[in-house]
Amino acid sequence: PMPPAILTEPDPEVIFDPRVNIELPCLAKGNPAPIYTWTKDGRFYEPSAQNNRVAMGSDSGTLIFTQAQTIDQGWYQCNATNMWGKDEDNELE
């Protein structure tokens, strides 16, 4: 058993450009494998509720914005959790 530890996190500041896909990487190790969640501006953020513009990686917590919009700007934080604990990255804008 091992609590999650985030290995890869996004740059502290990301420029949202609607012309390109934007990725906010988040990868953690842990045993059992961690479950990833995100917050935006301090509130739970659900990628699947963003009209198919935002997805989460299948094997990591990486957020992928395919059509970034002004409403996507904000402070994001990745959280990795398993039964042994939790780790979170630094907030980024």
DSSP string across 66-77 = SS--GGG-S-EE
Q: For the chain, where are the E strands, in sequence order?
A: 2-8, 22-24, 27-31, 35-40, 43-45, 54-56, 63-65, 76-82, 85-88
Domains and CATH numbers, the chain: 2-84 (2.60.40.10)
Q: Minimal CA–CA distance to 26: which of 78, 65, 88, 82?
A: 78
Cα–Cα distances in angstroms (integers) from residue 39 to residues 32, 80, 84, 89, in the given order: 22, 11, 21, 11
Identify the pLDDT of residue 11: 80
Tokens describing residue 73: 């700007």
Supply the mean pLDDT for the chain.
Answer: 90
pLDDT tens-digit series, residues 3-32: 999 998 888 788 888 888 999 999 999 999
Cα–Cα distance, 22 to 48 (Å, whole number): 16
DSSP annotation of 49 reads G
Q: What whole-number percentage of the chain has pLDDT above 90?
A: 61
